[in-house]
Amino acid sequence: MYQPEKLKARRKELKLTQKEIAEQLGISFQAYSAWERGVKEPSEEKVSQLEKILKVPKGYFTQIEIVRLYNSLSNQGKEKVVVYARNLAQEEQAKKVTVMPEKLFEYHVYERMSAGIGASVYDDRNFDTVYFNEELAHDFASWVSGDSMEPKYQNGSVALIRETGFDYDGAVYAVVCNNQTYIKRVYREEDGLRLVSINPKYKDIHISYEEDPRIVGIIVGNFVPMEG
């Protein structure tokens, strides 16, 4: 297969003009120019002359380089090329093997729970279905809204809750009070609960025991959902 781009590149390497080569071939400048542009192809005779003028091996302008190089090798060399090419082809094919999709686990995530100023208590009849690549133990899951618990609990992430009641001061819990649910660090004090945000720009929230706050459970994990 004739390759006009190689003809042009070789001519430029030797710093020859189209006119100079055309004169050596005994043809018009326009005829030679058509060869370089790929509009027309030179005859076998003219290709042979071009190989001599431009000092390239036979087949340089008509063969794909790998074929030309292969044909120039000894039988032993050709055998080595075939073995190498076969191994390389097998490696490339192995890379194309379809990767099995990652197993994802389903979670039911209830109404948004506030990690900010508070939100309605979750309604167990309404939930979103999301997925994650780990199966994490929990009793129920809820959305985190707001940035008061960032960076650990991102806005829009899923909080996993174990209904354990209170365990120890400073842990992160889901607390329900006055039809609001909070996700905060909780400290039990003499007159009530102190809810502390991780984000320092938020002030502590104090809830009196007289308001009957209920610690639903401890936050045992969280994640950002993956596409299912």
- Which CATH number covers residue 140? 2.10.109.10
Q: What is the pLDDT of residue 21?
A: 93
HSE, CB side, 13 Å, CA atoms: give it for residue 73: 14
Q: How far apart are CA 73 and CA 17, in angstroms?
A: 33
**Positions of E strands within the chain:** 105-114, 119-120, 127-132, 140-145, 158-162, 172-177, 180-189, 192-196, 205-208, 214-223
> Does residue 190 lie within any of the structural domains?
yes
> Does residue 154 lie within any of the structural domains?
yes
Pair 87, 112 in one domain? no
> Does residue 100 lie within any of the structural domains?
no
Q: What is the pLDDT of residue 221?
A: 92
Greater pLDDT, 219 or 176: 219
Pair 111, 218 in one domain? yes
Pair 112, 142 in one domain? yes
* Number of folded domains that form the chain: 2
User: 61, 95, 129: which is the final residue of a domain?
Assistant: 95
Pair 113, 179 in one domain? yes
User: 95, 122, 147: which is the final residue of a domain?
Assistant: 95
pTM comes to 0.50
Pair 122, 215 in one domain? yes
Range of the domain at 217: 105-223
> Does residue 228 lie within any of the structural domains?
no
> Does residue 162 lie within any of the structural domains?
yes
Mean of the pLDDT values across residues 166-190?
89
Is pLDDT of 117 > 60? no
**Which residue reads 């090419």 in tokens?**
85
Q: What is the pLDDT of residue 114?
A: 46
> Does residue 119 lie within any of the structural domains?
yes
The model's pLDDT over 16-58, given as tens digits with 9 standing for 90+, comes to 999 999 999 999 989 999 998 888 889 989 989 999 999 988 8
User: 44, 65, 95: which is the final residue of a domain?
Assistant: 95
Q: How far apart are CA 64 and CA 104, in angstroms?
A: 48
Give the CATH number, domain containing residue 64.
1.10.260.40
